[in-house]
């Protein structure tokens, strides 16, 4: 996935990256926590994996482009990607 500035921001995983955040929509937060608690409390590995899959449906990500500093929102549930820039940023 490329930013509007053409910089590749998604594709290779950089575990040292400081510009990536997990996001959960407020309306889904309690359901997300419930799914996470099922993961923590489950001993059976197959069921635990099912609960991880369920919890991951509630998680999106927010990525900061290191090139232009735009914020790129990948919403939960596979909704359309959104791009944000700082107001009055000369780089647009």
pLDDT tens-digit readout, 63-91: 888 888 889 998 887 778 899 987 776 65
Q: Please, which residues have CB within 8 angstroms of residue 85's CB and are 6 or more apart in sequence?
A: 68, 69, 70, 71, 91, 92
Q: Has residue 65 been placed in a domain?
A: yes
Q: Has residue 80 been placed in a domain?
A: yes
Q: Has residue 90 been placed in a domain?
A: no
- Domain span at residue 50 reads 20-84
Q: Has residue 49 been placed in a domain?
A: yes
pTM above 0.75, yes or no: no
Per the structure, the count of domains in the chain is 1
Q: Has residue 91 been placed in a domain?
A: no
How far, in Å, are 12, 22, 68, 81 from residue 9 at the CA level? Answer: 8, 15, 11, 13
């Amino acid at each position: 996935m490329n930013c509007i500035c053409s910089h590749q921001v998604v594709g290779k995983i950089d575990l040292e990256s400081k510009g990536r955040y997990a996001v959960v929509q407020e309306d889904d937060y309690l359901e997300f926590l419930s799914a996470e608690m099922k993961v923590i409390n489950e001993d059976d590995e197959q069921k635990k994996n099912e609960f991880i899959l369920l919890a991951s449906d509630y998680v999106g990500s927010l990525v900061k482009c290191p090139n232009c500093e735009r914020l790129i929102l990948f919403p939960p549930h596979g909704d359309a990607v959104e791009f944000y820039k700082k107001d009055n940023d000369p780089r647009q």
